[in-house]
Structure 1
Amino acid sequence: MPHAVMLFAAGFGTRMGALTADRPKPLIEVAGKPLLDHALELTTGLPTRVVNAHYRAEQVAAHLDRSGVVLSVEQPEILDTGGGLRHALPLLGPEPVYTLNTDAVWAGPNPLKLLAEAWDPARMDALLLCVPLPRAVGRKGAGDFTLQADGQLRWTGDHVYTGAQILKTELLDEVPEEVFSLRLLWQRMGNEGRLHGLDYPGHWADVGHPEGIVLAEEMLARNV
């Protein structure tokens, strides 16, 4: 299982509207706790935890002060998920890593533990944790993938990517652009039959938009 996790917290949070006028999205509270802390609780026990930051990075830095979590600041521009992960590799190390989005809340088993139990590096270059649309609270729009019987993922379908995965990072060095999405890697892995998915058995809430806050709090209250 990986020993390092990258938590994505650098986005502008534009879908949050006025809520992110004076703070970064990861510091918006859900059920009395910042989104970033909800995510960090899932990573307890991992020796290497890295959070990236760009928008209002000084607030994220202050929040993490004395936590033991390492900050990877992206300046002058935001690097997207692929560029951000590559920028943080000196902090994360060369082995496969977890990545975790910080704009979601979970009700159910620890997602990283489920990924570790299912990870098979001989067959997989990436393992993405997905949830069926009916259990994707606050999700707007369609799903991202179809999860096939053999565990491989195909684009479009009724499964939503939750923002949690295990990923091999070697392909990052082959991308010439500085700013790029991890989707570039997923597409190549999928073409080679090495992009796999895992069905999350609990509930998951998208807190990337204001309505998601109330929906996430209701989900958590139902699953205490």
Structure 2
Amino acid sequence: MRNDPEAVMLFAAGFGTRMGVLTRDRPKPLIPVAGRALLDHALDLVADTGLRPVVNTHYLGDQIADHLAGRDVAISHEYPDILETGGGLRQALPLLGNGPVFTLNTDAVWDGPNPLTLLRDAWDGARMDALLVTVPAQNAVGHAGTGDFLADAQGRLTRGPGQIYAGTQIIRTELLADIPDRAFSLNLLWDRMLAAGRVHGLSYPGRWCDVGHPEGIALAEAMIGGRDV
């Protein structure tokens, strides 16, 4: 089984309920930020790495399929029910291949080095089952909360207030087969990996903006434009 990830799963299936009326007739990944769809901002990161992109869809998935028509992007459509992050990743494995994969949320914008490249350079499959990009609170634009993870001196993560998970990682997929539920969160995998001490964090050196809520659009556009936010 290969140990270096070659594909990336872009999560684009959600209902986008925090966006309110903006997602009444449009999926969240197609909301424009600085004149381009959120999904396209995410695909720009993928294009710089040469990874094979796979996009999952559910809510208004036909719009995403139309948006991606003619591009070399595989689509895993979740029907009739949405499968959450874990179930969605497991369904897409025939498109992603065996072994570790990247995952990337599509409701964020980055200002700094490509996080996928940073992950690839830091990945050590001998020590890690998952490597998560985290962001210190002062670099997280438009995000409220106390954080998700604490890191020890070796970069191993435990749950607790501290760094914020920025929605991208490399993760092994073998344990997905052990979960009986059809729809489930990747938190179930993380919990098992955390207990084994094999989840590591990579603190992002740039800025990251959460665009999962309407106020995040203007904040992301200001960040991209180099303005104070």
Whether the TM-score (by the shorter chain) exceeds 0.5 is yes
How far residue 158 of structure 1 moved from its aligned partner, in angstroms, is: 1.7
Contact 1:6 1:51 in 2 (8 A): yes
In the TM superposition, residue 3 of structure 1 has moved relative to its aligned partner by 0.9
Instruction: Determine which of 50, 58, 62 is the counterpart of 1:58.
Output: 62
Q: 2:6 aligns with which of 3, 6, 20?
A: 3
Please say if residues 5 and 98 of structure 1, whose CA atoms lie closer than 8 Å, have aligned partners that are also in contact.
yes
* 1:43 paired residue number: 46
Deviation string for 1:99-156 (max 9, x for gaps)? 0000000000000000011100000000000000111000022211112211011102
Q: Secondary structure at the match of 1:41?
A: helix
Question: Match for residue 26 of structure 1?
Answer: 29
User: In structure 2, how many angstroms separate the alpha carbons of the residues matched to 1:222 and 1:3?
Assistant: 32
1:189 aligns with 2:185: no
1:138-181 deviations in whole A, cap 9, x for unaligned?
00222111122110111022211011100010000000000100
Alpha-carbon distance in 1 for matches of 2:126, 2:91: 26
Specify the SS of the correspondent of 1:180.
coil
Q: Secondary structure at the residue paired with 2:191? A: helix
Of the three residues 161, 164, 171, the one matched with 2:168 is 164
Partner of 1:202: 206
Report Cα offsets for 1:166-223 as digits up to 9, x if no partner. 0010000000000100000001001001011000000000000000001111111117
Write the letter of the residue equivalent to 1:13: G
CA distance in 1, matches of 2:162, 2:183: 29
Q: Does 1:82 align with 2:90?
A: no
Query: Which portions of structure 1, spanning 4 or more consecutive aligned residues, are displaced by more than 2 angstroms?
Result: none
Aligned residues: 223
Counterpart of 1:121 in 2: which secondary structure? coil
Indicate the percent of aligned positions where both proteins have the same amino acid.
Answer: 62
Letter aligned with residue 212 of structure 2: G
TM-score by length of 2: 0.96
Q: Which runs of 5+ in 2 are unaligned?
A: none
Instruction: Note the 1:165-180 alignment, pairs <5 A.
Output: 165-180=169-184
Render the CA deviation track for 1:49-70: whole Å, top value 9, x for unaligned. Answer: 1000000000000000011101
Matched with 2:148 is 144
Looking at structure 1, the residues matched to 205 and 151 of structure 2 have their Cα atoms a distance apart, in angstroms, of 14
Q: Could you state the TM-score of these two structures normalised by the residue count of structure 1?
A: 0.98
Letter in 1 for 2:151: L
> Following the alignment from structure 1 to structure 2, what is the Cα–Cα distance between the partners of residues 67 and 135?
33
Per the TM alignment, residue 46 of structure 1 is displaced from its structure 2 partner at its CA by 2.6
Distance (Å, rounded) in 1 between the aligned partners of 2:137 and 2:51? 33
Q: Return the offset for 1:47.
A: 4.5
**Distance in 1 between the 2:103 and 2:89 partners?**
9
